Amino acid sequence: MRAWGLIRLYAILVYVFMFSPIAVVLLLAFNNSQFGGFPIDGFSLRWFYKLAENEAIIRAFKTSMVLGLLTALVSTTIGVLASLALVRYRFRGKDLITTVLISPVLVPETVLAVGLLIFLRWLHMPRSFGLLLVGHSIIALPFVVLVVQARLVGIKREYEEAALSLGANPVQTFFQITLPLLLPAVFAGALFAFTISFDNITATIFWRPSGMETVPTQIFGMLRHSVSPEINALGFVMIVITVGIPLIAGGLARYFSRKKI
């Protein structure tokens, strides 16, 4: 009994350690005080209003959203096609391609960022939104591939073979059978990609063209001047997006799957 008590205490301490900084941000976002710190003066939404009036932040927010959505689109499309090839077909160099696809997870982001920049320099291309999109997609791709592959392995080949035997051509079979069965993984992969892009900062600092800010780089920039309470409000919004969207999506997925079966 004593041992269990200690373990429980230990677990609670770990959670406190992990989550208290986040709790502090969430709490201070509603602080009425002029300064971004304790003590709390009173409840207020003023920092959220200020946030909504700050054009730089709104711009950064739009950039992040567009970038995140496009990253999700690009990496999910490529990831699904790559997974199909890797799981359903046999060809030479398959192991090599798998390793290359997964490697961005293993390579430190800074190294990846510098590498892509040098490559671009070599091609005599300037930094651009396109580069940012390509870079984010590379970073997100391994997660999409891993999630989609895991699901695809579980979808029996017989489903597709049955569809083919009934007269559906391979493309029809993909859209009628494989894709619907794969959808939860495609969805999860896209969410991962969006979230990864939305809060990436290390690589983004290297790749963004001058003058373009995403939400994390904007916060980073603001922090260099002062710890404005606006940042807490912005942090609150980011947390809601990066935690809330997957939760909602998961809930929806469960709701639909229950309705069907």
Partner 1 sequence: MARVELKNIQKSFGLVKAVKDANVTFEENSFTTLLGPSGCGKTTILRMVAGLEAPTSGDIMVGGKRVNEVPIHKRNLGLVFQNYALFPHRTIGENIAFGLKYRGVSKSDTGAKVKEALDIVRLPGVEDRYPSQLSGGQQQRIALARAIVIEPDVLLLDEPLSALDANLREDMRVELKAIQHRIGVTSIFVTHDQSEALAMSDKIIVMSAGRVEQIGAPEEVYNNPASEFVANFLGASNILDVSVSGSDSTSIALDAPYFGTIAVPRDRAVNLGAAKSGKLVIRAEKLRLTNEAVDDKAISAKGVVEAVDYQGQVARYFVRIGDRQFQAMNMIEGRPFDMGAEVTVKINPEDCAVLPADR
CB of 237 to partner 1, least distance (A): 36
Q: Which residue, 102 or 168, has its beta carbon nearer to partner 1?
A: 168
For residues 57-68, b (16+ Cβ closer than 10 Å) or e, as one string?
A: beebbebbbebb
Q: Residue 43: helix, strand or coil by DSSP?
A: strand
Q: Residue 161: helix, strand or coil by DSSP?
A: helix
Site string for partner 1, 72-111 (x = CB under 8 A): ----------------------------------------
CB atoms within 10 A of CB 138: 20
What is the spatial distance between Cα 212 and Cα 208, in angstroms, rounded to a whole number? Answer: 6
Q: Which residue, 160 or 230, has its beta carbon nearer to partner 1?
A: 160
> What is Dmax (Cα atoms) for the chain?
71
H-only helix segments in 89-178: 94-106, 109-122, 129-154, 157-165, 170-173
Q: Residue 149: helix, strand or coil by DSSP?
A: helix
What is the spatial distance between Cα 117 and Cα 171, in angstroms, rounded to a whole number? Answer: 38
Site string for partner 1, 128-167 (x = CB under 8 A): ----------------------------x-xx-xxxxxxx
**Which residues 160-189 are close enough to bind partner 1 by CB under 8 A?**
161-170, 172-173, 176-177, 180-181
Place of tokens 């396109």: 130
CB of 183 to partner 1, least distance (A): 9
Give the count of residues interacting with partner 1 (CB under 8 A): 21
CB of 186 to partner 1, least distance (A): 14
Cα-based distances in Å from 121 to 126, 129, 182, 212: 7, 15, 39, 19
Q: Which residue, 69 or 155, has its beta carbon nearer to partner 1?
A: 155
CB of 69 to partner 1, least distance (A): 26
Site string for partner 1, 24-43 (x = CB under 8 A): --------------------
**Which residues 241-260 are close enough to bind partner 1 by CB under 8 A?**
260
Q: Which residue, 165 or 210, has its beta carbon nearer to partner 1?
A: 165
Q: Which DSSP letter does residue 40 get?
A: P
CB of 172 to partner 1, least distance (A): 8
HEC profile of 60-110: HHHHHHHHHHHHHHHHHHHHHHHHHHHHHCCCCCHHHHHHHHHHHHHCCHH
CB of 158 to partner 1, least distance (A): 4
Binding residues for partner 1, rule: CB under 8 A, are 156, 158-159, 161-170, 172-173, 176-177, 180-181, 260-261
